[in-house]
Amino acid sequence: MEVRQLRYFVAVAEELHFGRAAERLHVAQPAVSQQVGRLERELGVRLLERTSRRVTLTGDGRRLLDEARAALSAVDRVRAVAADLTASRAAQLRVGTTPGVGQRLSRAAAALRADVPDLSLTLVDGTVAAHLAALRAGDLDIALVRGRVEARDLQARQVWCEPLQVLLPADHPAAAAPTVPIGALADLTLRLPDRAADPALRDAIQAACDAAGVVARTGRPVRSLEDAAVEIGMSSHDATVVCGCGGGPIPGAAVRPLAPLVEVPVLLLTPASTHTACLEALVGALS
């Protein structure tokens, strides 16, 4: 099946006339008839009833018309993204990142490269405030941030939610179960990022502790998750709370989800001028 066949079918279905459809498509009428007939043979269904006086949709044709329109809309969105990405920066996408989103970005880049083979990513880490400023200044094309953001001059779309997980010593009693109850945090020394670095995580864990009546002890702030993981693996009581903790096993440490589940939304931020089709395609690639 070719995109051209779907376009020809939609044109005939909307015009109910092969000649008018050919004029609309700027092609010869025999080409339209040929491609629609080929589509019918490939699908194994009759889409149109043809007589010398009129063309009508069959029941199967009516059902397929909506799907064909949706498929063509998706193709147009991807092409709009490709055009937007290549318009002024030779297919370079500047992305403000947050820790733990690497796997999502890799999958999204692979999806976008299907239409933009030379797409390159420039990843810029920073705080939520820094990403907002960079988007407004034109120094970033998109940003992925956790938590709700008040920025009416930007477009914001939620693309997924991340469950919070506890990284703790593997020999701690709380690590023996598949999940860590919120109440178990009272027996650990929590090391968290500074609030300016990850306000959504801090707010989410504080709200969960407050709801459970837990007063957690806090330790040194986490500057580098990699360094903190090594220290926690050699500790007996230190722990941290993470989002999207990927990678391989951490010697001496375990990662367990919180119970009950605590999630933090991840938002895609773009300038207000970002084309709707481009935004939708980026959301689709990241979701």
> Residue 272 sits in a domain of what CATH number?
3.40.190.10
Q: What span, in angstroms and rounded, lies between the C-alpha atoms of 145 and 190?
A: 23
- Please check whether residues 100 and 192 belong to one and the same domain: no
**What is the b/e burial string over 25-60, where b = at least 16 CB atoms within 10 angstroms of the residue's CB?**
bebeeeebbebbeebbeeeeeebbeeeeeebebeee
Whether residue 149 sits in one domain with residue 107 = yes
151-to-94, 126, 205 alpha-carbon distances in Å: 19, 17, 24
Q: How confident is the model at residue 172 (pLDDT cuts 50, 70, 90)?
A: very high
- Residues 183 and 253 reside in one and the same domain: yes
Q: How far apart are CA 106 and CA 85, in angstroms?
A: 17
Give the total number of structural domains in the chain: 3
The alpha-carbon radius of gyration of the chain (Å, integer) is: 26
| pLDDT at position 85 | 61
Instruction: Say how far apart CA 228 and CA 222 lie, in whole Å.
Output: 6
Cis peptide before 117 (omega within 30 of 0): no
The shares of helix, strand and coil residues in the chain, as percent rounded to the nearest 5, are 45, 25, 30
Q: Which amino acid makes up residue 20?
A: R
258 belongs to a structural domain: yes
> Do 181 and 238 reside in the same domain of the chain?
yes
Full residue range of the structural domain in which residue 98 is found: 87-159+266-286
CATH classification at residue 27: 1.10.10.10
In a domain, 12, yes or no: yes
Amino acid identity of residue 70, one-letter, is: A
Tell me the pLDDT tens digit for each residue of 52-93: 788 899 888 888 888 888 888 888 877 777 666 655 555 678
**Residue 93 and residue 58 share a domain:** no
Same domain, 132 and 171: no
Same domain, 155 and 185: no
Mean pLDDT of 194-213: 90
Roughly how many angstroms between the first and final C-alpha of the chain, as a whole number?
26
d(CA 60, CA 45): 7
Nearest to 273 by CA among 138, 160, 165, 174: 138
pTM for the structure as a whole: 0.64
Tens digits of residue pLDDT in 113-170: 877 777 788 899 988 999 999 999 999 999 999 988 888 899 999 999 999 999 999 9
Confidence of residue 101 (pLDDT cuts 50, 70, 90): confident
Q: Which amino acid is at 261?
A: L
Q: Are residues 42 and 12 part of one domain?
A: yes
